[in-house]
Structure 1
Amino acid sequence: MNMKHSSGSNMIAQIAIVVHDIEKTLASYAAFFGMEQPEWFWTGAPEQSKTNYKGTNTNARAKIAFFHLDQLQLELIEPDHHPSSWRNHLDEKGEGPHHIAFVVKDIHGQQADMEAKGMPVEQTGVFHGGRYAVMDTVQDLKILIELLEYDQKDRP
């Protein structure tokens, strides 16, 4: 896999952390960064998000919030109780880093390339303006990788 070749960039766009209490964690990060605390919001409803976890559609949702830090986005995720990559991570490993994300131009091609190299898709879904795929890269890279593809040229 060559992220730079496939995506046009090897810059990490996002780091995501799963948490038990998004409001408490948001306040802690806002104080740490000396920034205004962003609002959290629910991910889209299941019929909009089309979330698939390990080959099965799921009603999983999460409270999420973003800190925009220069060229990196910090995402906080508090998952609901439905099966998901987020819930699994929180239950098995506790709070902490969930994934690092890269913006890609051809998510399906990148996903197929990674799967061919033994890095299976763990979760996929759509969001307003794009789609994502969480790839199970833990064996090789020691953390999950998320591929992000936006409909618009510029990412939010």
Structure 2
Amino acid sequence: MNNSVLGTKIVTQVGIIVRDIKKTAEKYAAFLGVDVPEIIVTGTYEETGTQYKGEPTAARAKLAFFKVGDTLDIELIEPDEEPSTWREFLDTKGEGVHHIAFVIKDMQGKVRRLAEMGMPLIQKGEYTGGRYSYIDCTQDLKVIVELLENDD
């Protein structure tokens, strides 16, 4: 029986904020000995319904994913200038590890439970096939946690 807070202890993603995704993706590809992945752009607000600190935001980002194991991706994130957890991280901390992510079930329940534990929701949105939430776990866990819930 898994009695972890999230119902899983498998990290599925490490998210890294970068200033230049093309250049950084090339460096990772060379380091890992793989092809440079496709760089995608997140959807518009109309598609994603992104909220940052409880307010709608038009924030978008360029993303590149490197599969580095059976269940783990390295996600590179280059934010635009709109308000977001990505932009705030880049502006205040610079480039680096932004989050670790877990695939979960019951997004609302998990977000509520984490908030009760003093770990508030920072940003949320939708993507094709699911939804995400970034939770501020930095006080206790020293990192932002991303929850990913995929549709069945």
CA–CA separation in structure 1 for the residues paired with 2:65 and 2:3: 25
Q: Which amino acid aligns with 2:52?
A: Y
Give the corresponding residue for 2:119: 119
By how many angstroms is 1:140 displaced? 0.6
Give the corresponding residue for 2:19: 20
Q: Which amino acid aligns with 1:59?
A: A
Give the corresponding residue for 1:100: 100
User: Residues 30-70 of structure 1: CA distance to partner in whole angstroms, max 9, x if unpaired?
Assistant: 00000011010110111011110001100000000101111
Give the corresponding residue for 2:68: 69
By how many angstroms is 1:8 displaced? 3.6
Task: Give identity over the alignment, percent.
Answer: 50
Q: Report the count of equivalent residues.
A: 150
CA–CA separation in structure 2 for the residues paired with 1:20 and 1:9: 32
CA–CA separation in structure 1 for the residues paired with 2:3 and 2:57: 32
Q: Which amino acid aligns with 1:103?
A: V
Secondary structure at the aligned position of 2:112 is classed as helix
CA–CA separation in structure 2 for the residues paired with 1:134 and 1:49: 14
Secondary structure at the aligned position of 2:132 is classed as strand
Secondary structure at the aligned position of 1:119 is classed as coil
CA–CA separation in structure 2 for the residues paired with 1:18 and 1:5: 27
Secondary structure at the aligned position of 2:59 is classed as coil
By how many angstroms is 1:9 displaced? 1.9
Q: Any gaps of 5 or more consecutive residues in structure 1?
A: none
TM-score by length of 2: 0.95
Q: Which amino acid aligns with 2:16?
A: I
Q: Any gaps of 5 or more consecutive residues in structure 2?
A: none
TM-score by length of 1: 0.93
Aligned 8 A contact 1:6 1:105 in 2? no
Secondary structure at the aligned position of 2:10 is classed as coil
Give the corresponding residue for 2:10: 11
User: Residues 81-119 of structure 1: CA distance to partner in whole angstroms, max 9, x if unpaired?
Assistant: 000000000000000000000010111100000001110
